[in-house]
A = this chain, B = another copy of it.
Amino acid sequence: MIDVARLAGVSVSSVSNYLSNYPYMKPTTKQHIQEAIDALGYVTNERARSLRSGRTGLISLSIPSLTQAYFAELAEEIIAAARRRGYGILIESTGFSRERELASVTAMASKTTDGLILSPLALENADIPRLRGDVPMVLLGERLFGVPAPHMLVHNVEVARKLTEHLIAAGCRTIAFMGGVLESDHMSAEALRTKGYVQALEAAGMPVRPELVAGIVGEATSRKGVELVESMFASGVRPDGIVCYSDLVAFGVLRQLREMQVRIPEDIRVVSIDNLDESQYTVPSLTSVELGRHEIAELAVDSILRQLKEGRAPGEEIYADYRIIHRESSPAV
């Protein structure tokens, strides 16, 4: 930078000002500086800039795993949102380990990044105090509540209720929930979605039959979807509508139903939540709910940038808009 200043015949501060788009500068000065920069092939050293300015231009994104399509697609959106604002994203894949989730919080203190977008899956309520601090932070998902930081949430109850209402409106009378849980001690996406399903049934005066709610142990994969359908049908239960916990589960449900020569949607309607990229390509294509990934990404990044200016924000809950996308597995009625 000194070299640039010297070649342009100005001071380093003028070069710095120019680089920061300082408005009050003589056009000729700006021009000289730009010429010197071009001649020398000068590039600002972001490390030095960040040491001095206190900003790195980086935001940490801590998610369970990129192997899960939902998180990969969310990460993609967050990276795009950050890039539009001139920021980069440092991804930490935490597996499902509490230690690694905590580590990403601790790492913030070393100022490698300007903020943290955290999607906890293993942290416990007891860990909440460790999430205090003045580092810009945004939480994702329903694992933790009461953290003093903005929290991006999805209308889980409402989404599942609307889907179930849709099935009822379409004439379904025996509606199963694949990947649900009727009794739960803490809030989880499963529990909330099941709650919406129950609400819709009750509002319609329909019974809630436990044998229609199949739970998943461990990760919600499409293999689980296959197994749930198999065992439900084996036990003689025969639904005419299925709400799936997620698209991944739905993929398995669709496959197994086709395996069993069930016509979709004629015999059984299938609806789900996540609207993965892949869901438009399944056979039949899947009716699913777009959870507002794009909006979540934009709001999360914006919130980090705002907190950077105004300080850590308090524990507000922000709900993203959703949209049911009707496809072949359950057309609109």
Contacting residue for A110 out of B43, B221, B256, B258, CB 8 A = B43
Q: Which of A45, A92, A222, A278 has the most CB of B within 10 A?
A: A278
State whether A66 touches B75 (Cβ < 8 A). yes
Contact B44 A110 (CB under 8 A): yes
Identity of the chain B residue whose Cβ is nearest the Cβ of A256 in the assembled complex: B283
B76 touches A112 (CB 8 A): no
On whether A76 and B66 interact (CB within 8 A), knowing A45-B110, A47-B111, A259-B283, the answer reads: yes
Whether A267 sits at the interface, judged by CB under 8 Å, is no
On chain B, the residues within 8 Å of A48 by CB distance are 51
Residues of B within 8 A of A72 (CB): 66-67, 69, 72
A170 to B: closest C-beta gap in Å: 23
Residues in chain B near residue A152, CB distance under 8 A: none
Q: A256: which B residues are within 8 A, CB to CB?
A: 283
A325 CB → nearest B CB, Å: 16
B110 close to A281 (CB less than 8 A): no
Residues of B within 8 A of A226 (CB): 281, 283
Q: Are B90 and A45 in contact (CB under 8 A)?
A: no
Q: Which 3 A-B pairs give the minimum distances between C-beta atoms?
A: A223-B281, A72-B72, A66-B76
19 other A-B residue contacts (CB within 8 Å) besides A79-B91, A90-B91, A226-B281: A43-B106, A44-B110, A47-B47, A47-B50, A47-B111, A56-B112, A65-B76, A66-B75, A66-B76, A67-B76, A79-B93, A80-B93, A83-B93, A88-B92, A91-B91, A222-B282, A223-B280, A255-B282, A259-B283
